[in-house]
Structure 1
Amino acid sequence: MIPVDAFQTAVRVVLLADPVISQHVAPAHIRVGTLRPAQMPALIIAPTRSEILGRASGGQIVAELRAMMHVWASADDDSNVAQTLGAAAVMALLDAPRGPGFAVDDWERPALVWTEDPGVGGAAHGAIAMRAVIRWKD
């Protein structure tokens, strides 16, 4: 089994430990999901895409993981919480997240894009792309 859940949990742990993020976002609002959150601000890790790359020594398996994390905040907030959260999340994830059951062989620094969609309805929304090559013992 590909340790996607362990990877997503490791990303969440990094975000929960960041003092800027924890100042603005309740722990329950940093989660894996697919829908726009009802309560903001929130950091939502979209389901992670995985592709098996092959085998490594010692019976290990190697896979590439790609994930998007969505930053949501009220567009009416004058304190720029959305931009603060986006910057804090990118900085928190400059180094690869670590967790039990897998090792990160390659980590691309996250990339942040803000959307300017009037249909989002009062919410500021950004997306952070993450990519890792991981290895684990099957």
Structure 2
Amino acid sequence: MWIYSGLFISAVSSATLLPGSSEVLLSGLAMTENVQLVVLWIVATLGNVLGSCINYWLGINLVRFENAKWFPVSSHQLSQARLHFARYGTYSLLFAWVPVIGDPLTLLAGVFKVPKRLFIPLVLVGKGLRYAVVIVLAVGVEQLF
């Protein structure tokens, strides 16, 4: 059980703006004996989606301070980001798993108030597919069946 708890915590923190790499842990765990690959996949995916939801929540609450002097982004930069996000659409959240750009995407989704009914399924699909690929690469296709 500790294995799955550790993976969950790693996946949550990896999806936030904190540094982390749950793929390395997942790969190592997938190659060990006596683990259920489907459970690993579910735990990693749900943990990572929860981390993205934390970013989303931070984005919703952060925008309240956009007029404060300490706010790290100018109004102009925020407008530019809003235009880019609108241009590439909400469906860019399918790429929330991509290193470097994924975490800010989920934060921006909160800032721009993407409906949760779109946010969660898009992030879930993208991150679920990514972790499935990580497991397949770690154990090989022939060992899955």
Bigger Rg, structure 1 or 2: 2
TM-score scaled to structure 2, two decimals? 0.30
Q: Could you state the TM-score of these two structures normalised by the residue count of structure 1? A: 0.31
Larger proportion of strand: 1
Which has the larger helix fraction? 2
